[in-house]
Amino acid sequence: MASAYGHVNVVQQLLAYDAAVDHVNATGKSSLFIAATNGHVQVCALLLEKGAAVDRTHTISGTTPLLAGAELGHVAVVQLLAVFGAGITTADNDGWTPHSTAAAEGHDALATWLTVVEAWSPLQIGAGCRLSSAATTAVQLGVVDPEQGGVGAMLAARATAASTAPWG
């Protein structure tokens, strides 16, 4: 329930008491899947930082958290999951991909972003990178801190995935 409602502090407490970061409920959804579906980027970031499986699929539909976020137009969630290595082109059991789902649901800007990321192999977004307390990349900072303008602003400013900024 904490993931569904975006209660970051409750999720932190549960994880501190050894709650399973990859818990799957009776309907086949992981905590990350639920947070992504509901657009709770901070909960997603916390779960990912604690080691949640970024591509754990819904046990019935085969939908990934990234695909679920794309379907509902949660841009920041999709970008965060991509940075953490989620499969940008992973299809569900019916063949829907994040791009096709976003496009079908009318999330044109997100569908365009997914197309660019799919095609932009030099960036290698999400190639096993993880946020750390020591430093973060400009692209990661843009995802986690919306005041930095998001990933689109970082890419428009020609920020590189390797340029780092101290966490402070």
Whether residue 62 has pLDDT greater than 60: yes
Whether residue 59 has pLDDT greater than 50: yes
Confidence (pTM): 0.73
Once rounded to an integer, what is the mean pLDDT over residues 127-151? 44
Q: Which residues contact 96 (CB under 8 A, 6 or more apart)?
A: 63, 67, 104
Distance in angstroms (rounded) separating the CA atoms of residues 168 and 149? 18
